[in-house]
Amino acid sequence: MEAATTKAFRKLYKYITGTNEQGVKIDMTAPVVVKMKEKPYWQSSVYTLSFLLPSAYQESPPTPTNSEVYFTDMPDMNVYVRSYGGYMFSMIVNHNSGLLKKDLDQVQASYEQDFHYAVGYNSPMKFLNRHNEIWYQVVGEPVCTAPQK
């Protein structure tokens, strides 16, 4: 995960720092969202890393010069969330996504099981008190019951 997301982050960072057809610099936004397909550990992973585009650019964003940088609309959605600190390393992401799935399964919550999101709110240069989240998209009505311990 680390190599793939670092490579994708750099491409998007170049875009917002002026490597686009208009040479426009865009302020960094948070969170950074990584969509991760669920898969057995032995299979290759597929990641989609996204920056949120500020509202001032949503109608007419600067044109990317890199064909691997593109725009998608993220639908409105309800998500189940697990927060954690530290960095978004694959082992930590997998651990926290597993814990959230376990809790959701205990309360028989319906959620999208083909993918989840790893979400980071801090600059890589922030070392302490970091905030990250795992999101699973709600299917149907959310369940708001705490799992039995």
Look at residue 144 and tell me if it is in a domain.
Answer: no
Which of 18-22, 36-40, 101-105, 120-124 has the lowest average pLDDT? 36-40
| Residue 113 belongs to a domain | yes
Q: Is residue 27 part of a domain?
A: yes
* 97 is a domain residue: yes
Q: What is the structure's pLDDT at 39? A: 80
Tens of pLDDT, residues 24-72: 999 999 999 999 998 877 777 788 999 999 999 999 999 999 999 999 9
Question: What CATH number corresponds to the domain at position 116?
Answer: 3.20.80.10
In the chain, the percentage of residues whose pLDDT exceeds 70 is: 97
Domain assignment of residue 34, given as a range:
2-137
Q: Burial-class residue 110 by CB neighbours within 10 Å (0-12, 13-18, 19+).
A: middle
**Has residue 146 been placed in a domain?**
no
Q: How far apart are CA 125 and CA 62, in angstroms?
A: 27
Could you tell me if residue 149 is inside a domain? no
Q: Is residue 82 part of a domain?
A: yes
Mean model confidence pLDDT for the chain: 93
**Domains in the chain: how many in total?**
1
Q: Is residue 107 part of a domain?
A: yes
Of residues 98, 100, 106, 102, the one with CA closest to residue 145: 106
Asked if 29 and 12 touch (Cβ cutoff 8 Å), the reply is no
